[in-house]
Amino acid sequence: MDVKKMFDEKLSRRGLIKGAGMVAVGAAGMASLKSGGLDFLSNAEAKGGATEKWPWPYEKLDPEKTAELAYNEWYRLFCGGAVISSVFSQLREKVGEPYKSFPIDAYVFLEGGIAGWGTICGSNAGANIVSNMIIGPRIAGPECENGAVIGANVMKWYSETSLPVYTPEDPRVKTELVRTTSDSPLCHVSVGKWMKASGYPIGSPERRDRCARVTASVAYKLVNDLNAWKDGKFKETAAWGPVKDFGITSQQNCMDCHGSNIPSAPQAKK
């Protein structure tokens, strides 16, 4: 895949006027976020146009079909873009706007844990972007009910599951791939543990197909949770409390990085 060619084509097709509009929407959104509070959920439309009005309508999707889409899209957009595309391309058909205006391909940058930095695995980031659009952010509280933790729930599941769990109908790589548990939502840790267990290097077809299958697994899990939420049956599998319990944002298994010597954060003065 030639990413540069892809963008050149897209840009020339889209034209400059629409492009400028998207930038304005983004700036307005940021301004309302920075001004504090969550008013962007209620009167955002006035500030930013249709795409700034949350949450967006959701129609239940077939998890298996979504996983297949995600698997194939990985080979075009990598992990994060592929998760977003697998869900939003279907909602573009079933719902239309504002999904049609969402720039799916722009999220190709989530590859390699964001521009190759191995931070969050793009499939987790993509899942959070999708659930955020459909339900709203975790910090919005009761307005979004407990569904707002679907993104966090996916990261917990990702960390604890021996991945990849999803095997595509017609995988590009036919050899059986080992599964590993990352104990982390991070790209670097997840890919690194898998490479150590499998012996395959980063550029191998096997590692690439492993990540495509992890992406498909996450898309499956995400849509499964969204469907349950739509039916009013979604259940959070664990409470998140690092800030409350430790005074710092984090994944919960501190020992995975700190060993038994976990530092304590400064506490607010009483």
Contacting ligand HEC (CB under 6 A), which of 49, 171, 192, 242?
242
Work out whether 258 is an interface residue with ligand HEC (CB under 6 A). Answer: yes
Comparing CA positions, the residue from 269, 136, 239, 117 lying closest to residue 187 is 117
Work out whether 238 is an interface residue with ligand HEC (CB under 6 A). Answer: no
CB-nearer residue toward ligand HEC: 27 or 257:
257
Cis? peptide before 55, omega within 30° of 0:
yes
Contacting ligand HEC (CB under 6 A), which of 209, 262, 268, 269?
262
CB-nearer residue toward ligand HEC: 25 or 114:
114
Q: Report d(CA 242, CA 245) in Å as an integer.
A: 5
Q: Report d(CA 70, CA 84) in Å as an integer.
A: 8
Task: Kindly state the number of chain residues that form the binding site for ligand HEC, as judged by CB under 6 A.
Answer: 16
Work out whether 161 is an interface residue with ligand HEC (CB under 6 A). Answer: no
CB-nearer residue toward ligand HEC: 189 or 216:
189
CB-nearer residue toward ligand HEC: 180 or 184:
184
Whether 158 contacts 125, CB under 8 Å:
no
Across 162-198, b (16+ Cβ under 10 Å) vs e yields: ebbbbebeebebeeebebbebbbbbbbbbbbbbbeeb
Tell me, residue by residue from 175 to 214, as one string, x for binding to ligand HEC by CB under 6 A and - for no binding.
---------x------------------------------
Q: Report d(CA 236, CA 245) in Å as an integer.
A: 19
Work out whether 119 is an interface residue with ligand HEC (CB under 6 A). Answer: no
CB-nearer residue toward ligand HEC: 25 or 254:
254
Work out whether 251 is an interface residue with ligand HEC (CB under 6 A). Answer: yes
Work out whether 239 is an interface residue with ligand HEC (CB under 6 A). Answer: no
Residue 96 region by backbone torsions, left for phi larger than 0, else alpha for psi between -120 and 50, else beta: left
**Piece in contact with ligand HEC (CB under 6 A), picked from 92-100, 105-113, 231-239, 257-265:** 257-265
Q: Report d(CA 164, CA 154) in Å as an integer.
A: 14
Work out whether 252 is an interface residue with ligand HEC (CB under 6 A). Answer: yes
Comparing CA positions, the residue from 133, 154, 153, 155 lying closest to residue 144 is 133
Q: Cα-atom radius of gyration of the chain, to the nearest Å?
A: 19
Work out whether 246 is an interface residue with ligand HEC (CB under 6 A). Answer: yes
By the criterion CB under 6 A, which residues form the site for ligand HEC?
184, 242, 246, 248, 250-254, 256-258, 262-265
